A and B are shown apart, each in its own frame.
Chain A
Amino acid sequence: MKSKLIIILIFLLGTLASCTKDTVKPTVLPSTTTAVKLSTDLQPLFSTNCAVSGCHDGNNMDPNLTAGSSYTAIMDAGVVDTTNPSNSTLYKKVNTGGSMANYANPTFASKVLQWIQEGAKNN
């Protein structure tokens, strides 16, 4: 009985010693230094992926992301937060893990974040 207890204790101590608590480290995409413009960098994807029939086309879900209306609609919906850019709803929705992530991609999310960090201008 005693020897069995010792063997079990050795096993348990061994498992405890090799126990770690790790999480997968995120991969950080390379940064871009050129400014992000709404009209040339963000609107094309808004038009092809978001402002489709049944979605953010002006008749269904807010904000209306069709070309020409997207800036006003984004501002009216209050989905950008220039004081705390990574907390913006627009960014969180298109980033990995967000509810709209399937319609976007991490590179686009990075551009959205950069646009907000640069003041979310109507450019």
Chain B
Amino acid sequence: MITLRNSTHSIIRNCIASAMVILWGTSLSFSQDTKKDDKPVSNTFNSGTFLENQTYITNGKKVVEFVINHRFGKLSDGSHMAWGVYSPSNIRLEVNYGIRNNLQIGIAATKNNKLIDGSIKWGILKQTKSGKTPVSLTYYGNFAYRGDPTSAFANPGFKESNRFSYFHELMVAYKFCDYFNLQLAPTFAHYNLVETANPIVPANGDSAAVPVRSNNNFGLSVLGKLNINSTLSFMFEFDNNFNKLKIPENDTYKNPKPVIALGLEKATSAHSFQLFVTTADGIVYQKNMMYNQNTFLKKGDVKSGLAIGFNITRVFY
């Protein structure tokens, strides 16, 4: 036990030491090595898809990638629902394509809410081995079209623009060492239509539409990957939404809960298999950010909202 602790201590020490060297390396110049070390760091994330978010990785030009995201029902549904396997589930199928080096577009379909989303991802900066570029920076944006029948929107003044929602994020990723990668991303979600606090008003009452939440929501996503061996790694993610409801919480309207996901990834050169537990069931990022009501642990009467999910990606070079 003591030797195990010593070896993990030395790994962590090496990680921190190499991180400090990379960070301070910008002030030192080794002229004979700079050309080689200006290459982007390698062995970071294995795919652009990560649990409930994206990573900074973009595929190259003319590369096609297929992504399947699946979320089973809640674990707390119990043994007769096989801990969520027999419960209603959600699935999203995506195809994305590199139109330029570091620029990829994608299109996907999601079962819940019959969403169709189109996305664009731009790899702006790549962290270099020499430290000249300290972090990797990528922009990801999408728009989603909700295909439910108009009655599902419960809006007497329904317009086609009510179907759209948008999501933008700027991912900042840093490789600490070969074992650990971390990414921080400020996130922004916009729903064209938000619910009102008074859906039914009496004839002589105040019929002003009082929004329940802001159309614009801001949040922060933190995700990290710890390598176990060359193909297997442990992943964790925490996404929070900073916008509170405009009215006090009640039975019908509650603040969105943060998304927490933990899992394992097994990767090959062209495949990434991610198996994890997550509190989010919407898959599409803006939906999770604004409407997630699942909690990690049981809270009073409300059962835990954890569910098993998997992501599979397959790249065709």
Contacts and interface: CB of A to CB of B under 8 A. Distances in A.
Interface string B179-210: 00000000000101111111111111111111
B190 A30 contact: no
B141 interface: yes
A23 B209 contact: yes
B54 to A, nearest CB: 15
B103 A4 contact: yes
Contacts of A31: 203-204
Contacts of B154: 24
A29 B201 contact: yes
Q: How large is the interface on A (under 10, 10 to 19, 20 to 34, 35 or more residues)?
A: 35 or more
Contact of A24 (B122, B153, B202, B208): B153
Given A19-B192, A97-B247, A102-B251, A24 B204 contact: no
Contacts of A54: none
Contacts of B231: none
Contacts of B195: 23-24
A15 B207 contact: no
B161 A110 contact: no
A24 to B, nearest CB: 4
B153, B204, B205: most-surrounded residue (chain A CB, <10 A):
B205
Given A25-B209, A106-B200, A7 B99 contact: yes
Nearest to B252: A97
Contacts of A109: 202, 205
B157 A25 contact: yes
Interface string A15-49: 10011111111111111100000000000000000
B34 interface: no
A3 B209 contact: no
A21 B194 CA distance: 8
Given A11-B141, A113-B205, A23 B200 contact: no
Given A21-B215, A23-B211, A32-B203, A96 B122 contact: no
A117 interface: yes
Contact of A8 (B120, B164, B202, B204): B120
A4 B159 contact: no
B97 interface: no
A26 B196 contact: yes
A116 B2 CA distance: 77
Contacts of B196: 23-26
A86 to B, nearest CB: 5
Given A23-B195, A96-B200, A7 B120 contact: yes
B250 interface: yes
B149 interface: no
Nearest to B248: A97
A22 B100 contact: no
Contacts of A12: 141
B63 to A, nearest CB: 15
Interface string B236-254: 0000000000010011100
A12 B122 CA distance: 12
Interface in A76-123: 86, 95-97, 99, 102, 106-107, 109-110, 113-114, 117
Contacts of B215: 21-22
A106 B190 CA distance: 31
B205 A18 contact: no
A14 to B, nearest CB: 8
B276 interface: no
Contacts of A8: 103, 120, 122, 139, 141
A21 B193 CA distance: 6
Given A20-B161, A23-B194, A26-B208, 5 more contacts: A7-B120, A22-B162, A96-B201, A106-B200, A106-B201
